[in-house]
Amino acid sequence: MKRLILLLAGLASIIAIKAQKMSCCSPSATEAFAQLTSDKKFVMSHLEPRPFKYLSANGKAIVFKAADGSDAHGWEIMSNSPSNNYLLVIHEWWGLNDYIKQESEGIWKDLGNVNVIDVDLYDGKVATTREDAVKYVQSVTTERARSIIQGAIAYVGSKAKIFTLGWCFGGGWSLQACLMAGDQGAGCIMYYGMPEKNVDKLQTLHCDVLGIFANKDQNITPAVVDDFANNMKKAGKNLILYRYDAVHAFANPSNPGFDKTAREEAYKHTVAFLKERTK
C-alpha cells in the first residue's frame, strides 16, 4: 500500500512539473505558426504559386551580417533621394521569390521616399511546392530569424525610421520585427500573420499596427483576430483592423485563390498607412 501511495505521489509530481513547464514555455507566436504546418488543411490552403519571373532595374541582392556574425541575405531598393525611412519586408512561407520583389518595388514606387529591404529568413531557399514550404518554415528557428532581423536593423542604422510589412509567415514576423526595432519602430503592417498574444510584449510597441485578415481563414481565424484586437487594447496600443471576406493568402497574386478586389483595397490601406507616417 505504501508503495502504491509513493508511486501515485511520484506520478502526480511528474505531471505537475510537466504542466508547469508547458505553462511557462508555451510556443511563441512564430512557433505557433510553424505548428500550423502539421495541419493538412492549412497546408492545402496554400495553392502552389504559378511560375513567375521579375526583372528589376532598381533592386539588387545584398548581404549583411546577422547578429550572430554569419551572413544574411536580402534584396534592397534605395530611395532616389536620401531618406531615413526604411521598410523591412518579410516574405510569405514560399520565401523571398520574385512575387515579393515585385510587390516591394510597387510599394517603393508608390511611396517615393522609402528605402525597401526584403529580409530573407530562409537563407536563400525559395519554395515552389507545399512540401518545400513546410520544410523551410519548420527549419526556421526563432533564434536564427531574430538574428537575421537584428542584423537588418543594424544594417539600416540607428537613425532609421523602421516600418515592417509581411504576409502569412512574414505577417507574424513583421510584428515581431517591429517589436525588436524598439523606439525606431514607426509602423507595422501584417497580412494574415500569427499575432503576438503576450500583452506585456505588445506594451513595448512604439507604433501603430495595420492588421489585414481574411474572414475565411481556417487557422488565423476571426476568433484569433478578435483576441489580437483585445490584447492590443489591453496593451494600450493602436490596431487599425481590416477584414475581408476572403481566404488565407488572398493578396498573393501567385495564389490561384487570389482575390483581386480585396487585394486592391488592402493595398490602398497599406500605402495610405505608410504615406501618413513617412511624410
Q: What is the 3-state secondary structure (H, E, C) of 59-118?
A: CEEEEEECCCCCEEEEEEECCCCCCCEEEEEECCCCCCCHHHHHHHHHHHHHHCCCEEEE
174 pLDDT higher than 70: yes
d(CA 67, CA 267): 32
In terms of pLDDT, which residue wins out, 45 or 204? Answer: 204
pLDDT in tens, 86-134: 999 999 999 999 999 999 999 999 999 999 999 999 999 999 999 999 9
d(CA 77, CA 61): 9
- What is the arithmetic mean of pLDDT over 201-209? 98
d(CA 181, CA 175): 10
Q: Name the band, by pLDDT with cuts 50, 70 and 90, for residue 43.
A: confident
- What is the arithmetic mean of pLDDT over 1-23? 41
Collapsing DSSP to helix, strand or coil, 190 comes out as strand
- What is the arithmetic mean of pLDDT over 141-156? 97
Do residues 270 and 240 make contact, with C-beta atoms less than 8 angstroms apart? no
- What is the arithmetic mean of pLDDT over 32-42? 82
Amino acid of residue 5: I
Domain edges within the chain: 28-277
Label the pairing between strands 60-65 and 71-77.
Answer: antiparallel
Range scoring the smallest mean pLDDT among 61-65, 73-77, 208-212, 216-220: 216-220
5 pLDDT higher than 50: no
Residues contacting residue 203 through CB under 8 Å, at least 6 positions apart:
235, 236, 237
CA-to-CA separations, 224 to 20, 22, 23, 192, 195, in angstroms, rounded:
24, 21, 19, 10, 8
Cell of 38: 502539421
19 pLDDT higher than 50: no
d(CA 88, CA 96): 12
Topology of domain 28-277 in CATH is: Rossmann fold (3.40.50)
- The confidence score (pLDDT) of residue 84 equals 98
DSSP calls for 214-249: ETT-SSS-HHHHHHHHHHHHHHT--EEEEEESS-TT
d(CA 212, CA 41): 21
Place of cell 522609402: 114
In terms of pTM, does the model score above 0.95? no
